[in-house]
């Protein structure tokens, strides 16, 4: 199955490197297995095998949904200049957030919105962190379910699904949740 997903990603990359207009790189730089293993030791959890393979076979960030997958060490950073490992550490150190262990930001959408993979979940569920609708002391309202698995999420993107619209478009599930919250206040 992974081979089919990798092939679908390669096909998608022929038409669009990222959803939000980041200029395509001259060439994608595959991640080094040693760097990924070092990152996993540092983070104290393993990456989803499919994500690891994408980083190794296609490129260590710089392509995909949003502004593109965020690279690991020696990979393509997000638009703020940080790698996924650096963003995770920053968010984990912000005590007011109570950032969940193993929730690795892998895609930045702008406005501090991140798609994150739950590396401790057996299916590697995807969650959105969106602080823009946060209200109160408890930050749990800034986390939203995005996809049942990393595989489903990246396969949807590779097949042409506009993930942003699925979340924030007129019928997007996060837009509906946030609209209902605003209506209650």
Q: What is the mean pLDDT of each run of 10 residues along the chain (185 residues)?
A: 93 86 62 88 97 94 93 91 96 91 96 97 97 81 95 97 94 90 79
Determine the structural domain holding residue 86 and report its residue range: 2-184
Report the candidate in 106, 116, 119, 160 with the shortest Cα–Cα distance to residue 142: 116
The tally of domains found in the chain comes to: 1
List the 126-129 sheet strands across, edge first. Answer: 103-110, 113-118, 126-129, 143-147
| Residue-level pLDDT at 20 | 78
- Rounded Cα distance between 178 and 130, Å, is 10
| Residue-level pLDDT at 137 | 74
What CATH number is associated with residue 76? 3.40.1580.10
Q: What is the pTM of this model?
A: 0.93
């Amino acid at each position: 199955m992974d081979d089919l997903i990798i092939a679908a990603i390669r096909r998608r990359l022929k038409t669009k490197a990222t959803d939000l207009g980041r200029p395509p790189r001259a060439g994608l730089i595959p991640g080094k297995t040693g760097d990924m293993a070092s990152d996993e030791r540092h983070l104290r959890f393993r990456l989803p095998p499919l994500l690891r393979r994408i980083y190794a076979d296609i490129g260590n960030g710089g392509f995909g949904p949003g502004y593109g997958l965020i690279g690991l060490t020696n990979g393509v950073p997000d638009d703020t200049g940080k790698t996924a490992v650096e963003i995770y550490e920053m968010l984990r150190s912000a005590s007011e957030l109570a950032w969940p262990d193993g929730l690795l930001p892998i895609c930045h959408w702008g406005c501090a919105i991140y798609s994150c993979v739950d590396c401790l979940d057996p299916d590697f569920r995807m969650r959105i962190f969106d602080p823009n609708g946060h209200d109160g002391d408890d930050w749990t309202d800034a986390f939203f379910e995005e996809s049942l698995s990393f595989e489903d999420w990246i396969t949807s993107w590779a097949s042409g699904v506009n993930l942003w619209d699925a979340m924030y478009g007129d019928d997007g599930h996060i837009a509906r949740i946030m609209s209902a919250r605003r209506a209650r206040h």
